[in-house]
Structure 1
Amino acid sequence: MNTLDKLVKMANQIGTFFESFPDREEALDGIANHLKKFWTPHMRDTLIAGIESQSVETLNPIVADAIIKHRTSMFARTMSNQST
């Protein structure tokens, strides 16, 4: 299992926890806050680079939604649709 696979697995575990929240917006915010608070910028950048390069196929949809919603505040580098 490579680094990206491990990060996806961890992100999915976080997503599974927050999926049980009755308020989806609270769950999305919780996932983003967890990734921002407990993951290093390098970990977050590695995950987003994998998503951008379409190397990630198994990301939990709620995690993907949280990343889309909070990408500006979560990631040290910008998404490909913004200037790099």
Structure 2
Amino acid sequence: MNTSNLVCMANRIGQFFASMPDRDEALMGIAQHIQRFWERRMRAELLAHLESNHGEGLDAITLDALRAHRDLL
């Protein structure tokens, strides 16, 4: 899977949840969506990108969600 495609998809999810008034709820929503609907290998590759490239290309809210709820993924 192409990492840049995963980053784009994760950012689109983040953009959807960014409109929520409760930021903590938004962060949880992003993480839960990725956990529920992405294959394990997709989640693993995104987390590897977070580790090796410090989440380069990820929007701030998406990056915060992945860091805050890493154990869920």
TM class by smaller structure: over 0.9
Structure with the bigger percentage of helix: 2
What TM-score do the two structures reach when normalised by structure 1?
A: 0.81
Unaligned stretches of 5+ in structure 1? 75-84
Equivalent position amino acid for 1:40 in 2? E
Report the aligned-residue RMSD: 1.4
Count of aligned pairs between the two proteins: 73
Q: C-alpha separation between the residues in 2 aligned to 1:38 and 1:28? A: 16
Residue pairs, 1:1-84, within 5 angstroms: 3-54=2-53, 56-74=55-73
What TM-score do the two structures reach when normalised by structure 2?
A: 0.92
TM-superposed CA distance for 1:56, in Å, is 4.1
CA-to-aligned-CA distance 1:22-74 (integer Å, 9 cap, x gap) = 10011001001100000011001001111111174210111111111111121
Runs of 4+ residues over 6 Å off in structure 1: none
Larger Rg: 1
Unaligned stretches of 5+ in structure 2? none
